[in-house]
Amino acid sequence: MHDLIALEARLAPAAAAIGARSLAVRLAANRRPWHGTGLRLRRGASYTLLASGRIRWSARHPHLHGGPGFHLWARVAPGGRIVNVTRDSGSFVADVDGELELGIYLGMWRDEHGALDTPQQAYDKLDGTLDVCVLAWPGDAADGLDALLASHVAPALLAERERLAAAVTPPAGWHYLVETGTSDIWRACGTPDHGRICLDAHDDQGIIRTALDIPLERATTLAWRWRLDEHPSRVAEDSTLSHDYVSIALEFDDGRDLTWIWSSCLPLEQHFACPIRAWSARETHLVVRSGFADAGRWVEERRDVYADVARALGTPPRRIVAAWLIAVATFQHGRARAAFEAIRVLQPGRCHTVS
């Protein structure tokens, strides 16, 4: 846990020599965001966060924990948008003038500037710390990392430089959901004329969203093809201890969403509210495929959205406002690999192509 604190001390002279600033911060799990670092940044300035540590979620269930890639977020305050590291590091550009603040995320963000809905009581149950080495660069983050690596071949520096060089971005028109943050698990893997989207998540999670504006009418059908190569769970996903899954979802104008999941073992057509408390009123899951008999091959699905929504959510909302692709592999720390294509919303005489 102390390696990054010591690394910052070793890097400080070399960082100063190239005009960079550095500092080390230790974040306690049970303190809600936000925490000032004292480091002031100008809009357009680049900075890098290198982090290590573990946040334990439950004393009763030691397998429930997350690292920096789940928990570490930053913003420049006042007025800046929240950003998060992926894996154990990240590099960002300040979007406003202000002080760099760091925070440990839990639950759900209320907005893109870091207001948090999660109460202190939820944080009181957490244990552990994250250590963070902050590097503020005089220019581009990649150039700064290269300059430091010339004299200090530290694994954390090298890992972030390699991550920058091979950055994974979501498919065109899709964006990570603000509430759960950016990751590197979703990518376009088809051709310009064939919108295939691939997933590879190891002890990670992420939701990508694309906006739609379609009336929810009777005979509205969601159609898609998917291939599940590796499932992140071998047990029922309707528990907070094992909520690892892959799904496709539609978001509605009343703020709710319905996700059609490929379960490892739950009965077909079972639906259940998300077991994660912060999401339970917002998200409902419906099992459309179960088990591994079809794993590794393409299968096609067609769902009557109006009928599924009426059964699982009650009174149907008026409009479909977005489609989501969801993967969670953080509770059991497994791996999810899958691909989606030919995602369409069909209505009599109309076809809305999603991907």
How confident is the model over 243-277, as pLDDT tens digits? 999 999 999 999 999 999 999 999 999 999 999 98
What pLDDT sits at residue 193?
63
DSSP symbols for 113-173? T--B---HHHHHT-EEEEEEEEEE-SS-HHHHHHHHHTT---HHHHHHHHHHHT---PPTT
Is CATH 2.60.120 the classification given to domain 175-353? yes
| Model confidence pLDDT, tens digit, residues 213-236 | 999 999 999 999 999 999 999 999
CB of 48 within 8 A of CB of 141?
Answer: yes
Domain boundaries, the chain: 3-165, 175-353
State pTM to two decimals. 0.94
Residue 2 in this model has a pLDDT that exceeds 60: no
Q: What is the mean pLDDT of residues 141-165?
A: 95
Residue 192 in this model has a pLDDT that exceeds 70: no
Rounded Cα distance between 224 and 352, Å, is: 12
| Model confidence pLDDT, tens digit, residues 309-347 | 999 999 999 999 999 999 999 999 999 999 999 999 999
| Model confidence pLDDT, tens digit, residues 52-82 | 999 999 999 999 999 999 999 999 999 999 9
Q: What is the mean pLDDT of residues 116-144?
A: 95
- In whole numbers, what is the pLDDT of the chain averaged over residues? 95
What pLDDT sits at residue 1?
42
User: Tokens 């710390």 appear where?
Assistant: 129
Same fold for the domain at 3-165 and the one at 175-353?
yes
**CATH no. of 3-165:** 2.60.120.430
Residue 190 in this model has a pLDDT that exceeds 80: no
**Residue 287 carries which DSSP code?**
E
Q: How many CB atoms are located within 10 Å of the residue 151 CB? A: 12
**Residue 278 carries which DSSP code?**
G
